[in-house]
Amino acid sequence: MGNVITERRGHVFIVMISRPERRNAIDANTAEDLFRAWRYFDGDPDLYVGIITGSGGYFSAGADLYDIDRLINRVTDPNGPLGFTRLRLSKPVIAAVSGYCVAGGLEIALWADIRVADRTAKFGFLERRFGVPLVDGGTQRLVRIVGLGRALDLILTGRLISAEEAYQWGLVNYLVDEGKALDKAIEIAELISRYPQETLRNDRLAVYEGLDKPLSEGLIIEMNYGLKSIRAGEIYEGVRRFKEGAGRHGDIINI
């Protein structure tokens, strides 16, 4: 799909932004390609976990300012200017980050459920220098992940932070050696793919729908998704396997 490369690996779907000559900056055409890729992923019952990454040693420099007029016209797009950052998928996504993950690229990484970074990764809202607003979820997601003080630090100063600092903040979940981010993301995705999927997805959605709700409301959301999972029947198969000895002593591999 033009500037987006996709790959299936079993139940895992990899989406790679491929404009290395522009540090994987996203123009309007690439935004459309990304939208189509993620809708395809979400609609395919054989795909369980997605991975978003970039080519050429970069994650993404965000919006391509050479295509600013077309991207401005996309600000009110219900799916987000970069194509998909306002979508709530029914399945989990992992960001595999190396090199620059800045501006809209950082907003893309925040859209993912889990972030894996290698030691070359750098994070920041560099668009602060040019009067470009955050319109792909950055002002809303970053504060939920790292807290108000740290979120405002990055949003207001526009400074870059290293992969190590991002890991210390909790912005990055896994920190790996240079060139290993995608490998680690695939490892995590394959683990997630082994679990009963409907219950996993329902628990994930309960987390998102309960954000910023009072605890009493959040518990009702959790209960309703839990009942949906119970009715799906995965629990009964899981209990059977447990009784037969699977997963004992915290084993998450031989399940």
Residues labelled catalytic: 107, 127
DSSP string, 163-215: HHHHHHHTS-SEEE-TT-HHHHHHHHHHHHHTS-HHHHHHHHHHHHHHTTS-H
Inter-helix orientation angle 104-111/138-146, to 10°: 60
Inter-residue contact 40 to 76 (CB < 8 Å)? no
The residues facing 50 across adjacent strands are 13, 93
Cα separation, 150 vs 46, whole angstroms: 38
From its phi and psi, is residue 212 left (phi > 0), alpha (psi between -120 and 50) or beta? left
DSSP letter assigned to residue 66: G
Cα separation, 77 vs 79, whole angstroms: 5
Cα separation, 234 vs 219, whole angstroms: 21
Q: How many DSSP H helices and E strands does the chain contain?
A: 10, 9
Residues 6+ positions from 131 with CB-CB distance below 8 Å: none
Inter-helix orientation angle 138-146/148-157, to 10°: 140
Amino acid present at 203: D
Which residue in this structure is represented by tokens 């628990």? 203
